[in-house]
Chain A
Amino acid sequence: MARDIPGIAAPARTDLPVLKPFRPGSFAPDSMAWSRWLAGLPPWTPLALLAVAFAWPTVAVAQTDMSAGEAWGILVRWIPFIVGSGFVFTVLISILSMLIGTLLGAMLGLAQISKNGLVRRFAWSVTQLFRNSPWLVILYIVLLALPFEVVIFGAVLAIPDWVKAVFGLSLPIMANISEIVRGAVQSVPTAQWEASESLAFSRRQTLWQIILPQCFKRMIPPWMNWYAILTMATPLCSLLGVEETITLTRQALEAENNRPALLVPFYGFALILFFAYCYPIARWTISLERKFAVKL
């Protein structure tokens, strides 16, 4: 008995049960697959990775100009630099991008369920554009399109590259958050809209007081999933010269004359850093998803 609520439900033809037609898209992997996979790894995975990274010089015979112990010693000297400056900056970039992306994405998502068809089409197009474009391309366009300085009230304000990178990364996040919001709102049965409408709630009141509170929790796990994906994507910024983890790792290696035996341990260490940061997030995400699935 679904009625057409603009932006919420496609017009229902009948309330008779019908067989759902085959939908090719239904076989697409779900968007949480990444967190699910990561959370499924055993906690000793980083140790195994670390061991492999350091066994590398010993195994790769051609490159053994250095023992594992020696490589470790060199890495330890660089860890404060790579973690203290690089990874901290990575985390900062990811948090800022997430904040901006969430804010813009929430607005775009609500625009996607607007009563106004024009607003809806526009928001949908923006969402699809940024959801389906390569992140690196978006980053480059933002880098080149934004001026390197702006003039506000006569004061010249330089825009550093890392700010552009934050903005560039926030765009695909925005698009994906927009889809999360739209999907969550549309997952609430239209009967809830009708019940509150017949109690004389306005559309705005219905959305904010009845619908969003019901689906807010549902949005948290996919939102966290996108945060972890975003963090994993921040090394893209190193291509813009932003001094995050990978850029600093490369600088450290250069300072060590790019000795081949160091390459795998250093980049391996960077990998473990990302893993160590994202793994608990993924575990938490999946446990929240389970919890919310049981209780609305």
Chain B
Amino acid sequence: MSGGWVGTANRLPGARAGVILLILTAGSGAAAYLRLELRDLLPTEAGLSLMREFFAAALTPAVRYQAEGVPPGTMPLLIKVLSAAVATVRFAVAAVTLSMLIGIPLGTFASESFWRATAEEGRANARIRRAVSRALYLAARVAIAILRSVHELLWAVLLLAALGFTPMAAVVAIGVPYGAMLAKIFSEILDEAPQGASRALRAGGAGRLQIFCFGLVPLALADLVAYALYRFECAVRSSAVLGFFGFPTLGYYLVAAFENLHYGEVWTYLYALFGVVLFFDWWSGRLRRSLAT
């Protein structure tokens, strides 16, 4: 995604015009297929008043329960929001931890430079070794493609159906596709890292594991951590959404508030999510900048 294509703006105008034409054709085809009509965009009378109320509430998020007659002893709304936010972060952190446990080994096996750095030299059944490492490499790539292609909510649906309701289902549901995603990125980071250091270690007689740990990993570490932190931000969103399935994250309370027509409370939960996401956004950005200099 990075690179200096900006400077080559005018080199391939034909291709670009073609791409844009293609996009617009696909767009009108898709709209025709869905029988989209602008008329349907106009909300119904009820929808309109809901919309008005809902967006008006954006400016006045609730700080107290909107329902009348909350039983005494109920925890104050803001405390409840806070605890939901904390639960959301907790699910997200556990999921990203799992995704690192999955993604780092998988990404290692899926990177070419790992296999190049650790290829054995000298005679000793080189053919068999090569075949085995090739097979592992391909298996890792296929596993990544498969695990990644199923959305985390669909993993949740599957796991809930299989396991019944348990917090672990949510963690695994997010952790597995995120792990595959992390593996893909990690393998790309490893492959883009310069090869000199690992070659030098090999020339000094270092073993394969040593070459990997000291000649490749240090070069990839900073990027990997920055990326993992960015994934925290995504995981917080996913974990909030898992509340729709009954896990006690922000989504759960948000649905309840929405269905009770307490839009002020809905916005309180939305702003809480916004705050958490903003925090992780700031953190990963700051970390990236501190590494760049």
A in complex with B: no
